[in-house]
Structure formats: structure tokens, C-alpha cells
Amino acid sequence: MKKLIAGNWKMNGSLAANEALMGALRAGLSGPARDVAVCVPAPYLAQVGALAGDVIALGAQDVSAHEQGAYTGEVSAAMLRELGVRYAIVGHSERRQYHAESDAVVALKAQRALACGITPIVCVGETLAERETGDTENVVKRQLAAVIHANGHCISEVVVAYEPVWAIGTGKTATPQQAQQVHAVLRAQLHAASAHSDRIRILYGGSMNAGNAAELMTQPDIDGGLIGGASLKPEDFLKIIASAR
Ligand code: PEP
């Protein structure tokens, strides 16, 4: 399966910084050996889409659970699609934590994205407290089950990202073995849900960087990465991309 490396810029960037970053990425990217995407703040989608060419796919960081109408501040899947968006992150832990997004809302967001031809990158992951009480598997399975339940036969069109909350932006990475263990659980769950589960990529995210990416991505069930901080540094992001084989 072709690996996917997706950058999550979070709430970072400016017109000038985006232009410099995209210029450096395009200059450093070679060959179609893996898929590359950048998930950028909504106001920059048009700009980055124009800079991305056809080697870097455009991604959003969120999508509304509603189709259209009186939802001030929301951005619909149809609007994203018009801007050429291919991927939309749903259920990032920062959205779950700061915006109280439930599993049900995340599942609806995935549904809206799929209905408009956008691939949702569905984030799941346990907090440190949940890991320490031995609840990791239950938590990620519950989070993924909501999306599977709402999306049925479309489930083979999603990307899943395992992002342990304790590893996001903290510099603490799951060991390759810890990550693989959870990825194998998610793989089995997807396999039970879809005859086409072999098409579903499961990314690891959480302080992935130029130094640890290669080892993480040699694990059998790690099909790429969702990268926050390091995706803003072109040299590091390019190294991560180069280590995905
Ligand atoms: C993320 O935001 O999805 C993420 C993995 O962040 P970081 O790489 O900075 O830990």
C-alpha cells in the first residue's frame, strides 16, 4: 500500500510563510513513491491549493457536521470540495478536547466529507490517563466504531490516524512497538467491518520527526504519518517523506 504523509499545520502560517514552505517542499519532492498532503487553515486553502501543484494534495483540518445553512463560522464539505480539498482531518484530539466533539459528531463529519468526495482522516487516540488505566484499546475501538457504524460500506474510503493524545506536540513518541500494537487492533477492527479493508491506510501521529519516522514506518501496520510540528519545517518534513517506503 502506498504510504501517505500528511502535514497538519494547525493554526500556523501566513501568506508569506505558506509560499516559502510550499516552494521548499515542491523543490525537494521527488517521485510518486508515496502520497503527500498538507492540511492547512481554511483561509489559506485557495492559496495553498494554487501552490501545491499535482504532487501535494490539499487537506483541511476540520469540516462541518452540517450540510449547509445557519451555522455561523462553519465550513461545509461542499465548500472544501470546490477549493480542491482531497482530505479533511476529523476528530483531531484538539477538536475533541477544546471543542467538545463527541464520537457521534466526528462520525457525522466523516460522513459529510465522504458525501462530497473528500477522504476523512479520522483521528483516534487515548489520553495518558486512559493508557495508564489500560483503556487504550477500548478507547480507540469505541472512537473508530462510531465512524464505522455511521459510514458502513464507505468505510474503505477513509484514512485512520492513531494519535495518542499524550504524544501530540509533547515530544513524547509512542515506541514503534506501542504504535504497532494499537495499529494491529485498528486493522483487525477495520478488517471485520469491510471487505476492502486492505485499502485503508492507518497513519501514526504524535511527535513524529525526521529522527523517528523511518523506524515507525517499518512497522507492518503503519501506513504513513500525520505530522504536526515537523510539517512546518520543510527540511524535516522532506526527510519524513523520504523515509516512507
Ligand atoms: C498532530 O497535530 O496531528 C500531531 C501529530 O502533532 P505533532 O506532530 O506536533 O505531535
CA–CA dist 134, 22 (Å, integer) = 41
Question: pLDDT tens digits, residue range 181-218?
Answer: 999 999 999 999 998 899 999 999 999 999 999 999 99
- Given the C-alpha cell 479533511, which residue does it identify? 88
How much is the pLDDT for 181?
A: 98
Supply the DSSP string of 26-70, one letter for each residue: HHH--SSSSEEEEEE-GGGHHHHHHHHTTTSEEEES---SSSSSS
- Per-residue confidence (pLDDT) for residue 32, from 0 to 100: 77
| Cα–Cα distance for residue pair 161/186, rounded to 1 Å | 10
Amino acid at site 135: D
pLDDT digits (tens, 9 = 90+) for 10-35: 999 999 999 999 999 999 998 778 99
Residue 86 CA to residue 158 CA, distance in Å, equals 11
Q: What is the pLDDT of residue 153?
A: 77
pLDDT band with cut points at 50, 70 and 90 for residue 245: confident
Nearest CA to ligand 1 atom 2: 228
**Contact of 10 with 45, CB cutoff 8 Å:** no
Ligand 1 site, residue 163, Cβ cutoff 6 A: yes
What grid cell was written down for 125? 487516540
Sign of CA dihedral 234, 237, 242, 243: positive
Whether ligand 1 lies within 6 angstroms of the CB of 168 is answered as: yes
223 and 198 Cβ atoms separated by less than 8 Å: no
pLDDT in tens, 26-70: 999 987 789 999 999 999 999 999 999 889 999 999 999 999 999
pLDDT digits (tens, 9 = 90+) for 105-151: 999 999 999 999 999 999 999 999 999 999 999 999 999 999 999 98
Q: Give 227's pLDDT tier (boundaries 50, 70, 90).
A: very high
Share of the chain above pLDDT 90, in %: 91
CA distance 40 to 38: 6
More confident of the two residues 178 and 152: 178
Which one of 101, 157, 163, 183 is the catalytic residue? 163
pTM: 0.97
**Nearest CA residue ID for atom 1, ligand 1:** 228
Pull the grid cell for residue 4: 501517505
Residue 219 has a pLDDT of 97
Residues 65, 32 contacting (CB under 8 angstroms)? no
Residue nearest to atom 3 of ligand 1 (CA): 228
**What domains, with CATH codes, occur in the chain?**
4-243 (3.20.20.70)
Query: What is the rounded distance in angstroms from the CA atom of residue 155 to the CA atom of residue 52?
Result: 27
CB 207 within 8 A of CB 167: yes
8 lines ligand 1 (CB under 6 A): yes
- The reply to whether ligand 1 has any atom less than 6 angstroms from the CB of 228 is yes
What pLDDT was estimated at residue 19?
A: 98
In eight-state DSSP terms, residue 13 is: -
Is 92 part of the annotated catalytic residue set? yes
pLDDT score, position 185: 98
Spatial CA neighbour of 222 closest among 190, 166, 179: 179
